[in-house]
Amino acid sequence: VRSVTSQPTEVAVRMYNVGFGDCFLLSFAYPNGSRRVRHLLIDCGSTKQARNVGLDKVVDDIAGRVDKLDVLVITHRHADHLSAFGTASGGQTLEGLAPAVVLRPWMDDPKVPADADEPVRSFVGGLHLAQHFAGALEQAITETRAGVARDGQATSPGRRPDLLDFVVGQVANTSAISRLDRIAANTDGRYLCATATPLSLRHLPGVRISVLGPPTYHQLPALRREGKDYKDQYWLTQTGLLQNALAVAGLTSRRAKNLAREALEARDSDAVIGPARWLIARMQDRHEQTLERIVEGIDNALNNTSLILLVEVGTRKLLFPGDAQGESWSWALEYAPNRSRYRELLKNIDLYKVGHHGSRNATPKPLYELWTTQRRELVSLMSTLPGKHGAASRNSEVPRRTLVIALNRLSAALYRTDKLGNAVSLAVSADTRSRDAFAVATDQQ
């Protein structure tokens, strides 16, 4: 007998203390039916774990609370969003939760759709090449540093200490990806792009999921022809930034490695005597900046593949934008033909998962503006770890100070993983029929 469950009465969002990464468990309580609590997991990964809370603890906690996953969402392929699937035990545990539906962005489909044209193929291939390049670069930096340590040279290559970290974050986590591909292949795996009609999943009755991003490859350039100006260069910029990396990576991984190594090794300046010697030392420094920009290009491109999901349940609206940045957001906010509907949807948000760990360009100001006039109280959840990425001196620190101030001003509460101490998670919940703000869940000690 099919249960008559129609509407969850309560929704809880549990934010896990993963360090630098994302892991959110949404649980919906139904008044009746075969399964009274149903679960949706959004991402599970970390590139720098929280002190005293390992990723395995997080996975165990999930497994302890969840008998079965109804829906699994992997917003995008960055390691800090899926690395738990790459470990032997953690990955197995998560796979064991047998998600019925797996949602991922369109470009993560292991089979490029047959109707994809050349630009789409080259973009999708480009993302892979970019990650390949990152892998070669990581190896080169590591080898160079090891070489320097061995030779005991005084000069340290890689004057930008965070370059390696930054690179590591871009490298494809192949074991996690292949596990996810397998899970998705064996169940209902869907690869999504921004669409006008919301998803209604059989496994989550009464829950509507609107997909606001990522746009397809062809959506934004089409607008350029209408002369809509500047932001339209989204994919072009993506492709352009990628191109450097791709061009190098596309040749041979050996060349990519040489590129990195030569840039990082302290130069033996005997070959260059005279006025140019001074210049070459300077070039070396600039060259690292070049590499950093290439890696930044890869990072931006991958962030912008994020699914942007708006979850509606009863009176509640919850926004999970992954790591999507302004460029990808511009589709929903500025360019989509149905943007007025999107903008309506984006008003009166109850819960906001702060985009991209609170970085400077993942909470578009036009989006923020929509909330300044809303009556409903906003609760923001921010999974972040200061000191891992960016620098205050370049106004790129994560989380960005000015954003935190702005969110604090706007939100009834802003919860951050880096303030959780030794706690594995924090959960907030709300009744789906009232309008009171999300509150820290009662089981939270």
Partner 1 sequence: VTANHAELLRRDAQTWMRVSVLAKDPLYLDSGRVVVTQVRVPGGVLESGPRDHRFHVVDFDLTTGKPPAAPPPPTVNGKPGWEFRDVLARPRGAGALVRNRALHGQHVWGVAAATLARCEQALGRRVPWHFPCAQLFLVPHAFPEANAYYDRWSRAVFFGFVPRADGLDVYSCLSRDVVAHEVTHAILDGLRERFLESVLPDGLAFHEALADVVALLELFSSPEIIEAELEARLRESRQQARSAIVEDELRRSALFGLAAELGRALGRSGGLRRSIDLEPDSKYLSRPEFQEPHRRGEVLVAAVLRTLLGIWTLRICELDPQGRTYLDRAAEEGATAAQQLLNMLLRAIDYLPPVDPEFTDLLDAVLLADEVIVPTQRLDYRSQLATWFTSYGLTAQVRGRSRPVDLRSRSLDYRQISATSLQSDPAEVYRFLWQNGEEIGFKRRYYTDVETISPVVRVGPDGLVHRETIATYSQRVEGNPATLRRHANNALKIPRGFDTEGDAEVVFFGGGVVVFDEFGHARLHVRKSIDDWARQGSVLRRLARLGMPVGADRAIAELHLDQPDDDW
- 222 near partner 1, judged by CB under 8 A: no
**Could you say which of 293, 341, 419, 433 contacts partner 1 (CB under 8 A)?**
293
**Could you say which of 400, 425, 427, 429 contacts partner 1 (CB under 8 A)?**
400
Q: Give the shortest CB-229-to-partner 1 separation in angstroms.
A: 6
Binding segment for partner 1 (CB under 8 A), chosen from 105-113, 290-298, 308-316, 380-388, is 290-298
In terms of DSSP bridges, do strands 439-440 and 101-105 run parallel, antiparallel, or are they unpaired?
unpaired
For partner 1, the closer CB: 75 or 361: 361
- 384 near partner 1, judged by CB under 8 A: no
**Could you say which of 144, 305, 361, 383 contacts partner 1 (CB under 8 A)?**
361
- 240 near partner 1, judged by CB under 8 A: yes
- 254 near partner 1, judged by CB under 8 A: no
Taking the CB of residue 296, how many other CB atoms lie within 10 A of it?
A: 15
**Could you say which of 34, 89, 155, 402 contacts partner 1 (CB under 8 A)?**
402
**Which class for 374: exposed (0-12), middle (13-18), buried (19 or more C-beta within 10 A)?**
middle
Binding segment for partner 1 (CB under 8 A), chosen from 191-199, 249-257, 312-320, 419-427, is 249-257
- 125 near partner 1, judged by CB under 8 A: no
**Could you say which of 67, 262, 369, 443 contacts partner 1 (CB under 8 A)?**
262
Residues pairing with 381 in the sheet = 353, 415
Q: Three-state SS for 247?
A: helix
For partner 1, the closer CB: 51 or 293: 293
Q: How far apart are CA 399 and CA 402, in angstroms?
A: 9
**Could you say which of 167, 201, 263, 319 contacts partner 1 (CB under 8 A)?**
263
Binding segment for partner 1 (CB under 8 A), chosen from 76-84, 175-183, 196-204, 253-261, is 253-261
Both tokens of 166, joined, read 């930054």
**Which class for 343: exposed (0-12), middle (13-18), buried (19 or more C-beta within 10 A)?**
middle
- 395 near partner 1, judged by CB under 8 A: yes
Q: Give the shortest CB-438-to-partner 1 separation in angstroms.
A: 23
Q: What strands, in cross-sheet order, belong to the sheet with 351-353?
A: 199-200, 207-213, 308-313, 316-320, 351-353, 379-382, 413-416
In terms of DSSP bridges, do strands 207-213 and 199-200 run parallel, antiparallel, or are they unpaired?
antiparallel
Q: Give the shortest CB-118-to-partner 1 separation in angstroms.
A: 13
Q: Three-state SS for 379?
A: strand
- 155 near partner 1, judged by CB under 8 A: no
- 243 near partner 1, judged by CB under 8 A: yes
Residue 437 DSSP code: P
- 64 near partner 1, judged by CB under 8 A: no
CA 36 remoteness from chain centre: 30
Q: Three-state SS for 229?
A: coil
- 251 near partner 1, judged by CB under 8 A: yes
CA-wise closest residue to 291 among 248, 233, 253: 248
CA-wise closest residue to 178 among 132, 110, 107, 123: 110
- 283 near partner 1, judged by CB under 8 A: yes
Element (H, E) at 291: helix 275-303
Residue type, 66: V
Taking the CB of residue 289, how many other CB atoms lie within 10 A of it?
A: 13
For partner 1, the closer CB: 146 or 247: 247
**Could you say which of 36, 160, 267, 343 contacts partner 1 (CB under 8 A)?**
267
Which residues in the 311-350 window bind partner 1 by CB under 8 A? 326
Element (H, E) at 319: strand 316-320
Q: Give the shortest CB-279-to-partner 1 separation in angstroms.
A: 5
**Could you say which of 1, 64, 229, 445 contacts partner 1 (CB under 8 A)?**
229
What DSSP line would sit under 386-432, residue for residue? TTSS--GGGT--SS-HHHHHHHHHH-SEEEEGGGSTT-SEEEEEEES
CA-wise closest residue to 352 among 401, 279, 277, 406: 406
For partner 1, the closer CB: 85 or 123: 123
For partner 1, the closer CB: 24 or 329: 329
For partner 1, the closer CB: 196 or 222: 222
Residues pairing with 208 in the sheet = 200, 312
Taking the CB of residue 83, how many other CB atoms lie within 10 A of it?
A: 24
- 118 near partner 1, judged by CB under 8 A: no
How many residues would you count in the chain?
445
Residues that bind partner 1 (CB under 8 A): 229-231, 233, 236-237, 239-241, 243-244, 247-248, 250-251, 255, 258-259, 262-263, 265, 267, 271-272, 275-276, 279-280, 282-284, 286-287, 289-290, 293-294, 326, 360-361, 363-365, 394-395, 400, 402-403, 406
